[in-house]
A = this chain, B = another copy of it.
Amino acid sequence: MKVSRKQKFHTHIGVIDHNDAIGKEFGSVIKTNKGKYLFLLEPTIYDYVLKSQRSTQIVYPKDLGYIAARTGLQSGQKVVEIGTGSGSLTTFLASIVKPRGHVYTFDVESKFMDIASKNIKKAGMEKYVTMKKFDIKKTTKPPIIDADLVVVDLGDPWTLILQVRKILKGSGSFIAICPTMNQLEKTVSVLQKNNFCDIECTEQILRTIEARVGKTRHSFHGIGHTTYVLFARKAYNGSIRAKRKPKKTDAV
Chain A: residues with CB nearer than 8 A to chain B?
Answer: 25-29, 35, 37, 39-42, 44-49, 61-62, 64-76, 92, 95-101, 169-173, 179-182, 184-185, 187-189, 197-198, 200-226, 228, 230, 233-238, 240, 242-243
The 7 nearest A-B residue pairs measured at CB: A44-B72, A222-B222, A65-B65, A27-B170, A65-B69, A222-B224, A45-B72
A208 adjacent to B201 (CB under 8 Å): yes
Min CB gap A146→B, angstroms: 11
Find A25's partner among B61, B221, B233, B236 (CB 8 Å cutoff).
B236
Known A64-B69, A74-B95, A171-B41; contact A225-B218, beta-carbon cutoff 8 A = yes
Q: Specify which chain B residues have a CB less than 8 angstroms from the CB of A69 in the assembled complex.
A: 45-46, 49, 61-62, 64-65, 68, 92
Q: Please, how many angstroms separate the alpha-carbon atoms of A77 and B204 in the complex?
A: 26
Least CB separation from A61: chain B residue:
B69
The interface centre, meaning the residue of A68, A92, A101, A215 with most chain B CB atoms within 10 A of its CB, is: A68
* CB pair A95 B72 closer than 8 Å: yes
The answer to whether A237 and B76 touch (CB under 8 A), given A180-B216, A217-B179, is no
Residue of B nearest to A172 (CB): B27
A44 touches which of B95, B173, B209 (Cβ 8 Å)? B173
Query: Are A42 and B180 neighbours in the complex by a CB distance under 8 Å?
Result: no
Contact: B40 with A171, CB < 8 Å? yes
Pair A215/B65 contact, Cβ less than 8 Å: no
B residues less than 8 Å from A180 (CB atoms) = 214-217
Q: Of the candidates B61, B76, B92, B202, which one forms a contact with A99 in the assembled complex, judged by CB atoms under 8 Å apart?
A: B76
B99 touches A71 (CB 8 A): no
In the complex where A44-B71, A61-B69 touch, is A211 in contact with B188 (Cβ < 8 A)? yes
Is the CB–CB distance between A28 and B236 below 8 Å?
yes
User: Distance (Å) between the CB of A170 and the closest chain B CB?
Assistant: 3
Residues of chain B with a CB closer than 8 A to A216's CB: 180-182, 184-185
Residues of B within 8 A of A73 (CB): 45, 96
Q: How far is the CA of A171 from the CA of B25 in the complex (A)?
A: 9
Sample of 16 A–B contacts (CB below 8 Å): A26-B171, A27-B234, A28-B237, A39-B197, A40-B171, A47-B72, A66-B206, A75-B95, A75-B98, A179-B217, A181-B216, A184-B209, A202-B209, A203-B218, A217-B225, A217-B228
